[in-house]
Amino acid sequence: MNRIFSPGKLMLTSEYVAVDGALVLAVPTKLGQELFFTESDDQKSLIHWQAYHQNQLWLDAKIDYKNWEILETNNQKATEFILKVLKNVQNLSENKSKSDVSYHLETNLQFPSDFGLGSSSTLMSNLAEWAEIDPFILNEVSLGGSGYDVAVAKEKSAVLYSRFPERTYHRINFNPNFKDELIFIHLNQKQDTREGISHYKSKPTSTELINDYSKLTEKIVKSQNLEEFSQLMTIHEQKLSDFLGIPTVKEKYFQNCPSFVKSLGAWGGDFVLASKFGDYESYFKKQGFSKIFSWSELIN
């Protein structure tokens, strides 16, 4: 079987403001999603789709791509989504699902589904690489969103990304000399990104806010030491809290924490970023958060 891999992502800056074009800094995670594929010239025009989560099979379906009909499945709703995506792949591709060839496509999501590291974006990136199509277009017609996560998956690298006035992104080597002092804490739940974006969109669009976050991202990338980085992260968090009218994650869970605590992506779930201090592991565990990762454990 042939294999394609796309890494997951963590969004370090700009959060919701990314949808309006603010510059985003995002980094790839060690874990991601694999796509294994084979094809056979059997004249049946079938797609056999098997999806694994941490090597455990959870979706097994057969699809007739001539008629776009689900022939067999153990999960109707999930298969309907896969059918929709594969239909988009066919429309965009010059050679996939165009003849009588049958395909066996097997995915394996390596990280827990509540980690919010990009189960959808890694899928879009893998399928686009397989079909030799533009992953951003596939993502746009299948899911929507700012697309920064697709850029990380496609480039397999840290990126600086902006959506407007036109999509621009480039790979960067984000390797801060204080990275060993940084930690990621999982908040035991996955946040609904679309719900968060909807709340953000209910506020009037602010050009000043977009520019502020682009400048903050540029400063964060150039941070020379942990103190400067921490100050910028604190400003980043407070500015968005004021705009959204939502307490920061530090105000909500970690009021007496001696480190900055920065939300990553949709507020209220997934991961937060902080720095090491004293007995930090004991502190976060006492607050009910035991999934703590160093930079080198999580980031590629």
- Domain covering 179-298 assigned CATH 3.40.1440.10 in the classification: no
pTM summary value: 0.93
User: What CA–CA distance (Å, rounded) separates 84 from 144?
Assistant: 14
pLDDT score recorded for residue 193: 65
Domain 2-172: CATH architecture, name and number where available: 2-Layer Sandwich (3.30)
Write down the pLDDT at residue 194: 66
pLDDT at 290: 96
Show the CA angle centred on residue 150, arms to residues 298 and 96, nearest 5°: 125
Single-letter code of the amino acid located at 192 = D
- Condensed to tens digits (0 to 9), the pLDDT of residues 214-272 reads 999 999 999 999 999 999 999 999 999 999 888 999 999 999 999 999 999 878 768 99
Question: Domain extents for the chain?
Answer: 2-172, 179-298
The list of the chain residues with pLDDT below 50 reads: none
